[in-house]
Structure 1
């Protein structure tokens, strides 16, 4: 699980750098959404790793942000928009049904996050990491 948390935090940290120079507003909206997902995931990841004290209110707010963002993923990717700075692989649209399945897995993982206690958050966080990793492996350009 530590690897999942570290990976998610690294993905969140790199997102801000990739947004410079993006001209396509649809791509910028997608990247902004991913940045928001990274920020909320980072908040939870810091709690899971014990880098910050567990805070049920902050955890619940991060979970709510993730649920809302996860619901927006398919709609923001539906149109095949591109930009030289885009990190989306053509596979998103070539395998649209597979992409939607992965987006739905993320939606389920965000809804499954338990934020009532640190232990519950730790136990439920791995599913979120797995859903993010699975989608990024197939549909996100690697650095």
Structure 2
């Protein structure tokens, strides 16, 4: 498949995901909640790029993988700081357990950074292997701390 066709094939689902996430942010009043939702949205986008390459090795692009990895590292370092204020909103998926188990939550955010740093963006195999750690870090936090 030509590269531009692949981009178009991926563009529509990603646009739908972004639109859905954008709708979830509508009506959120607390700026702290909006900020952390935006960080999570961007993390989802970066992991989506890497996840697509892991599932479809022929689509691997080292520069795109490197950029997504860099975004993921930068954004993952913002996770715990974005939750230091206990801000809630009916549209937020954050559970109060975050603040009740702060040390564990913060450690899980660090685990995402560590997993992103370990990902090798230079090959499809490196991306796929790294995504296992990233997926584990994301799931390890979402299960106890996200509705």
- TM-score > 0.5 by shorter chain: yes
Equivalent position of 2:67 in the other structure: 61
> 5+ residue gaps in structure 2?
1-12
Once the two structures are overlaid, the 10-residue window that deviates more, 121-130 or 44-53, is 44-53
Return closer, same or farther for 1:15/1:52 CA change in 2, 3 Å cut-off: farther
- Tell me, yes or no, if the aligned pair for 1:63 and 1:113 is still in contact at 8 Å: yes
Return closer, same or farther for 1:52/1:24 CA change in 2, 3 Å cut-off: farther
CA RMSD across the alignment = 1.8
Equivalent position of 1:105 in the other structure: 111
Whichever of the two has the greater Rg, that structure is 2
Find the partner of 1:137 among 117, 120, 143.
Answer: 143
Q: CA deviation at 1:16?
A: 3.6
Runs of 4+ that moved beyond 6 A: none
SS in 2 for 1:81: coil
TM-score in terms of structure 2 length: 0.84
Q: How many residues align?
A: 131
Once the two structures are overlaid, the 10-residue window that deviates more, 16-25 or 62-71, is 16-25
SS in 1 for 2:59: coil
Find out whether 1:125 has 2:124 as its counterpart: no
Q: Distance in 2 between matches of 1:66 and 1:50?
A: 20
TM-score in terms of structure 1 length: 0.86
Q: CA deviation at 1:76?
A: 0.3
Find out whether 1:96 has 2:102 as its counterpart: yes
> 5+ residue gaps in structure 1?
1-8
Q: Distance in 1 between matches of 2:51 and 2:131?
A: 8
